[in-house]
Structure 1
Amino acid sequence: MHALSLPTWWIHVASVLEWMLAMAAVMRWGERRAEPQWRWLALAMLPALVSAMAACTWHLFDNPIELQGLVVFQAGTTLLGNVALAAAAWTLLPERIQS
């Protein structure tokens, strides 16, 4: 755990927790509005959460070369998350235009 300072760790952990809370909030928003497509947005947030956890794991073990594959995995889940979020947001677009 020497790779990051304590304040930086705090930001990393807080960001992961905040993202989880945001996923729950998006789900609840969709339920309150009776718009199930919001669930897709919350689900699309999952790869970004996995990516963040991969990055935290990489740092937790002091960025060893043996875990270099974790960095590639993290990059892949970031890409997947960005595409998923764009697709989920696209499904919400017609609802916003019609309202």
Structure 2
Amino acid sequence: MHELSFGTWLIHISSVIEWIVAIFVIYNISTYKKYNLFYWLSIAMVPNLIGAMCAITWHIYDNQEILYGLVTLQGIFTFIGNSTLAIAAIKIFRGTETYE
């Protein structure tokens, strides 16, 4: 784990924790307030979280070449996550639910 500085690790780990908390907060809001479209937003966030965990796992093992497939997975999950987030945002924008 010596490849990255302490500050970089702090940012990586806190970002993943923040993303997990955001998913649960959005999910809880969607179930409490019955905002069904926000439920799908919380689900759409999961691929980005998986991508972030792939990147962190690769760094934990000092960027070993044998684990380079994690970099590819990270890119794939980031693409999927960004696409699903865009779709969820469009559905919320076009949705007929009212939010008070």
TM-score normalised according to structure 1 size: 0.91
> Going by fraction, where is helix more abundant, 1 or 2?
1
Q: Name which of structure 1's ranges 79-88 and 26-35 shifts more when overlaid on structure 2.
A: 26-35
SS at match of 1:63: coil
Q: What percent of counterpart residues are identical?
A: 39
Q: For residues 25-64 of structure 1, what are the structure 2 equivalents within 5 Å? A: 25-64=25-64
Q: Name which of structure 1's ranges 87-96 and 61-70 shifts more when overlaid on structure 2.
A: 87-96
Assess, with a 3 A threshold, how the Cα gap between structure 1 residues 45 and 28 changes in structure 2: closer, same or farther. same
Assess, with a 3 A threshold, how the Cα gap between structure 1 residues 98 and 23 changes in structure 2: closer, same or farther. closer
Corresponding residue for 2:2?
2
- Is 1:81 the counterpart of 2:81? The answer is yes
**For residues 32 and 50 of structure 2, what CA distance do their matches in structure 1 show?**
27
TM-score normalised according to structure 2 size: 0.90
Uncovered stretches (5+) of structure 2, i.e. residues with no partner: none
Corresponding residue for 1:71?
71
Uncovered stretches (5+) of structure 1, i.e. residues with no partner: none
